[in-house]
Amino acid sequence: MRPYIICHMTVSENERVTGPFLETSMGIKACDYYYQIHRALKADAFACGRVTMETSFTHGWFPDLKPFENIVVDRRDFIVKDDHAFCAVAFDTKGRLGWKDPVICDEDPGYDKAHIVEVLSEDTKDAYLAYLQSIGISYLFAGKTSIDIRTAVKKLARYNIAHILLLEGGSLLNQAFLQAGVIDRLSLVHVPMVESEEEKPLFYDRPKNRGEEIVMGESQGIFWKCTDL
């Protein structure tokens, strides 16, 4: 068993997910529409890679781990037992994200108060694991030195963290999920602008579509496309 996984992203016409197009008036409108859809999909959790989480939420902060340096931590998953309505799943292989709280603090109600779940490799430092435990952040292991996506998503279902999961990038994480064959649907908000090919793509190897449904957005030229994989 694994969650039903929807890759939900805002993209340019040539399917870039980073770049100046996001800062234009059309890009800002598209992002607002993206957040509306994020909330409307009513998933149990969303997942991002380390860089995306750092850019959006932790902003480069990292805790002082000296008080935890002499603590030895078993390599067992640590799941905070609570009735979490929504979770933020951070794929953070070596444990480099600096969280201050066990939940996301964000002005958008689609992200605010999401319980943080770190997905880690087993060679993450003991001091970091002890710190996460001290502030009540859940974590699970999905590989010895790197993360196995299939193991990770199975654990997300096993621990009732996610039965519907929104995969929200970036490019490296999206590609890893694609290669693992665990993406069920694409949910793409298209901005009618072409971005530089040097910017990050949605995937480094675009999948072939089996079928699609298109729903026009509220802003002229912006549309939302759902595609089954």
What's residue 82's pLDDT? 81
pLDDT on residue 228? 82
Query: Helix, strand, coil shares of the chain as percentages rounded to 5?
Result: 25, 25, 50
State the Cα torsion 40-42-227-57 to the nearest 10°: 90
How far apart are the C-alpha atoms of 57 and 118, rounded to whole Å?
14
What lies within 8 Å, CB to CB, of 101 at 6+ separation is: 116, 135
pTM above 0.75, yes or no: yes
Ordered structural domains, the chain, with CATH? 1-44+163-229 (3.40.430.10), 45-154 (no CATH)
In sign, the C-alpha dihedral spanning 10, 13, 18, 24 is negative
DSSP string, 157-196: HHTTS-SEEEE---HHHHHHHHHHT---EEEEEE-S-PPP
Tens-place pLDDT, residues 165-224 = 999 988 999 999 999 999 999 999 999 999 999 999 999 887 666 555 555 455 557 888
Q: Which of the residues in the chain have pLDDT under 70?
A: 207-220
Helix (H, G, I), strand (E, B) or coil at 22: helix
Identify whether the C-beta of residue 129 lies closer than 8 Å to the C-beta of residue 139: yes
Residue 150 has a pLDDT of 98
- Relative to beta strand 4-11, strand 45-49 is unpaired
Contact 84, 115 (CB under 8 A): yes
Q: What is the pLDDT of residue 207?
A: 66
